[in-house]
Amino acid sequence: MEQDFIDNQLSVNLDSTDAFEGPEKLLELWFAPNEFTLPFSIWNNKSLFDIPYIEIENLLNKVNCQILSHKRNNFIHAYLLSESSLFIFKHKLILKTCGTTTTLLSLEKLLNILKTFINNKLTELPIFTVFYSHRSFMFPEKQLLMHQSWDDELNHLNKFFKIENSKDFIFGNDIKNKWHFYVNKGNDKLFPQVNSTNDITIEILMTGLKNVKIFYRNEKGIDGHINGIKMMEISKFNKILPLDNMIHDAFAFMPCGYSSNSIKDDIYTTIHITPESEFSYASFETNYPINDEETLNNIINNVINALKPEQYTVTVCYEGIKREYLSNKLHNHNQTDIDASHGYRVLCAEFL
């Protein structure tokens, strides 16, 4: 599939010299268990795909990032951003942004967009489930607004979602490497008979990267997407999942750094790398369904072998998945396994 959109000027001129904060803020908003269960009374036979492109740009401007490029299939619109990625399905939205982006400011803006283009009677976000998470920031004092502390972030989330429906956790023994996680259930009355969605999100959060030379570039004035695809092929990031014919989008920043999105049907992966030795960081994320221990082992090993981090954390947020598929690989690595409520469990394992 051809590139659906590319900002050529931004792709050539974007410079990441002053970038510093790799760990991303991850906001995931589910408006229904799947595209077929969006409540008609709210969505009027529409979906998130009915939001105009200009409004997606306006939403991201509120967060302080821009669209580099955009690829799509029938299930996912995947946006590669100046600071990480955005994935829009018909029934859910995944916003992952690094640096000093103001991710949670997207909530009010998104409500206004839905009121304008979906239902002008909305008074709150019609959420099925919401997740928010991030690793400890390397430079928390440089974050903006509510993102300077976890308590402030929770207070902001509580303005939009009922606190009695929420749970939050902080995982990890290393104070510099903790993982913060929040989950909230929306209005159950809209979804009276919902079966498990078999949802899963796997993240690998890495520091102390040893294999990062290929993520530096010196050619000014060349589209970062050309170099990005070269980096993807050299690192074999296009082979992490056992899937053929994925649609890939990758970008190499100047003078260094890398981002990529890959999609096939309703499966996505995204990878982001900040290679500078003083604060090197990389993240990998996918919703690829895990059906056996070998699949999980292969995915983790493919990522770790490509980047060779000194430390990494694996997080798995899952629903309806057999736990034994996940346990052995993560066993005895400072593993925490908790009931996050709302049908979800969360595993977090530190490899230090």
Catalytic residue among 11, 82, 85, 98: 98
**Annotated catalytic residue 84:** yes
Catalytic residue among 11, 106, 259, 260: 259
**Annotated catalytic residue 272:** yes
**Annotated catalytic residue 317:** no
C-alpha–C-alpha distance, residues 81 and 68, integer Å: 5
Positive or negative: CA dihedral 21, 15, 312, 293? positive
Catalytic residue among 11, 82, 84, 133: 84
Are 78 and 71 in contact by the 8 Å Cβ rule? The answer is yes
Task: Please check if 276 is assigned to a binding site.
Answer: yes
Cis peptide, bond prior to residue 255, ω within 30 of zero: yes
C-alpha–C-alpha distance, residues 58 and 55, integer Å: 5
Positive or negative: CA dihedral 307, 308, 313, 319? positive
C-alpha–C-alpha distance, residues 313 and 352, integer Å: 8
With CA atoms as reference, report the closest residue to 64 among 99, 108, 29, 114.
99
Task: Please check if 20 is assigned to a binding site.
Answer: yes
DSSP one-letter code for 254: B
Catalytic residue among 147, 262, 272, 280: 272
> Binding site for substrate: what residues are annotated?
20, 83, 253, 276
Active site residues per annotation = 84, 98, 259, 272
